[in-house]
Structure 1
Amino acid sequence: MGDDGLMPASFTPVTPLDFQLVLLRRMADHNPELVADARRELGVSLTDMREANKRWQAMVRSPRSRPAASRYGSVLGPPESAAARRIGDLDCEARQWPLPLWPELRFEVLVGPNGQVWNEWLVRAPGAEPPVLRTLDDLTPWSCTVDEAARAFAPARPLEGTAPTRWGLAFTAPDGGGVRREVVAEFTWGLLQRTRTRTADE
């Protein structure tokens, strides 16, 4: 950005590849090895990931930035699907985009009637086989989405995340020996990052 807070004329647009790196940048806090493998698959360096995140943050924070609902379309192109969805008593539109790094998932944005973004995360792609989640051993990093874990280990209680792109779930689940444990599962952009034993004050 320039000194006036506006995008410089030479600003490099954020690309679909950049956006995948933005997602990975947040996930690197919990799973740096998985992120490093993903970077190699995409053929990019750690510096590339950092620069992509800088461009994304500059775009989001610019006074000239598009509204959140249209921002993803400007980066990812037209959504693969856009369908009406009802959540409780409210109607919204669910827009989904494919991402090459996670072909079995879709990036989903829920947009309210006034154009406000209600949610933005990774979900299972339509028709893709969901994971089998029975015990704690099945809850490996990147194995499932928030919705899948909540259904598999219902009733699950949502927990406030440590950042806007993070979510948590508290539930009980059997370990490999069949003993039920109190668990906290942590998600970034809707994808499972880690689980830990729940403490008494959570």
Structure 2
Amino acid sequence: MRPVSAPAFGPLDFQLVLLRRMADHQPGLVEDALRELDVDRAAMREANRRWQAMVHSSRRRAAGARYRSVLGPPGTTGERRVGDLTFEALTWRVPLWPDLRFEVLAAPGGVVWNEWLVRAPGAAGPRLRTVEDLVPWSCTVDEVARAFPPARPMEGTAPTRWRLAFSAPDAAGERGEYVAEFTWGLLQRLVA
């Protein structure tokens, strides 16, 4: 008897991986997304288990090749400069967030330097003027950093998490100090 192989890991499974990490901070939004995708929490856990197995396998592919095998050919490719370094920038559509793209920045040789959600070219981002405008899942790391300079990057609490410290006014005009937490580049919550 031949072993039954699992179906190919694809874009739906990848979205479930993104949601799994976001469930720690936004379980209600994740539940809504699971309903929209017509899957349950068990499917999300299984997708995450399979992803972790791929990432940690002794036969694992380089991260750039792994994303191509899971998400297909990138929707866009280009170059991005960060300081003195030039990266290959690859993006893919993420149906759950149509105004965002999953971006991978790969250094020469294919080593992935960064992987997160960014605003799609031409898509209007939110108007971020006060801290009340910072609604979970509404904006990306880059958008918050540009809206409230000088934002200071901080170490995240886990892989795929980022934090920014910044000063911003509230609706009454009072300035305060805040820390925003992001998962896969998407705002999850304010912690201060």
For the criterion TM > 0.5, the same-fold answer is yes
1:156 pairs, out of 151, 156, 167, with: 151
Question: What is the aligned partner in structure 2 of residue 22 from structure 1?
Answer: 17
The whole-number CA distance in structure 1 between the counterparts of 2:45 and 2:125 is 32
> Residue 17 of structure 1: CA displacement?
0.2
Match of 1:117 among 104, 112, 115: 112
- Paired-residue identity, %: 69
Number of corresponding residues: 190
3-state secondary structure, aligned to 1:187: strand
* 1:85, distance to aligned residue in structure 2 (A): 1.4
TM-score normalized by the length of structure 1: 0.92
| Displacement of 1:14 | 1.4
Question: Are 1:143 and 2:138 an aligned pair?
Answer: yes
For residue 134 of structure 2, what is the amino acid of its counterpart? L
Instruction: Confirm or deny: 8 A CA contact 1:12 1:55 kept in the other structure.
Output: no
- Aligned equivalents of 1:23 and 1:168: distance in 2? 17
Provide the residue aligned with 2:77 in structure 1. 82
2:178 is aligned to: 183
Which residue number corresponds to residue 3 of structure 1? none
Q: Which runs of 5+ in 1 are unaligned?
A: 1-7, 198-202
Task: Report SS of the residue matched to 2:191.
Answer: strand
CA-to-aligned-CA distance 1:150-200 (integer Å, 9 cap, x gap): 000000000000111000000000112111010000000000000122xxx
Which residue identity lines up with residue 13 of structure 1 in the other structure? A
* CA drift at 1:35: 0.3
Counterpart of 1:137, as a letter, is E
2:103 is matched with which residue: 97, 108, 119? Answer: 108
Partners in 1 of 2:179 and 2:85 — Cα distance?
A: 29
User: Is the partner of 1:192 in helix, strand or coil?
Assistant: strand
Q: Distance in 2 between matches of 1:110 and 1:25?
A: 22
